[in-house]
Amino acid sequence: MSEKVSGFVFPGLFFMAWGLAISGSIPPGMSEANQFAQYAINWLLYFCGFAFLSASVMHSIFAKKMAKTIGWVTNGFQYEIAAVSLGLGVSCFYSLYWGRTAQISISIPVVTFLFFAGINHLKEIIINRNFAPNNTLILIWDFGVSASLTVLLLLPI
């Protein structure tokens, strides 16, 4: 996958999650009797699971290539990101079937991680003029998922 195309994957997943929630598609771990906000939470966490698992693979097995698409040089940071991404991905899938408490529990580290990753990507854009596709387009994912999960989980369900 080219660098320019790969930058659209995570934003695409974000919009797909919202599209499926808005369309009323039933997400994994749910029945038809649930509310829209819960559908949206499940779809977001479902795609977060895939995104984090793919990030784990990309930041470990394909570390050099991934770093290049972000505009960085490979170093130990990627293996740390791979490890945390693996845990977050598995936990996102787990939360789909274990209710609101599990969803809140995984959303806290997901929101924190993505929000501060977004801040770091913004810093890279502003200070280093790093406009690499996976440093710019990822902002839609980082801040979109963070804001969406925060708002949705604060709604009374």
79-109, pLDDT tens digit by residue? 999 999 999 999 999 999 999 999 999 999 9
Q: Has residue 25 got a pLDDT over 80? A: yes
pLDDT of residue 76: 80
- At 107 the pLDDT is 97
Q: Are 53 and 83 in contact (CB under 8 A)?
A: no
User: Could you tell me the CA-to-CA distances from 137 to 37, 71, 96, 118, 156 in Å, in that order?
Assistant: 25, 13, 27, 10, 31
For residue 34, pLDDT over 80 is answered with no
pLDDT (mean) for 46-66: 93
Higher pLDDT, 105 or 69: 105
**Percentage of the chain with pLDDT > 90?**
68
Task: Identify the weakest region by mean pLDDT among 17-21, 61-65, 127-131.
Answer: 61-65
Cβ(23)–Cβ(149) under 8 Å? no
Q: What are phi and psi for residue 52, nearest 5 degrees? A: -70, -40
Counted domains in the chain = 1
Please state the φ and ψ torsions of residue 33, each to the nearest 5 degrees: -80, 5
pTM, to two decimals: 0.89
Is residue 110 within 8 Å of residue 48, measured between CB atoms? yes
The residue segments making up the domain with residue 72 are 3-25+33-154
Neighbouring C-beta atoms of residue 17, cutoff 10 Å: 25
Tell whether the model's pLDDT for residue 5 goes beyond 80.
no
Lowest mean pLDDT among 3-7, 72-76, 132-136: 3-7
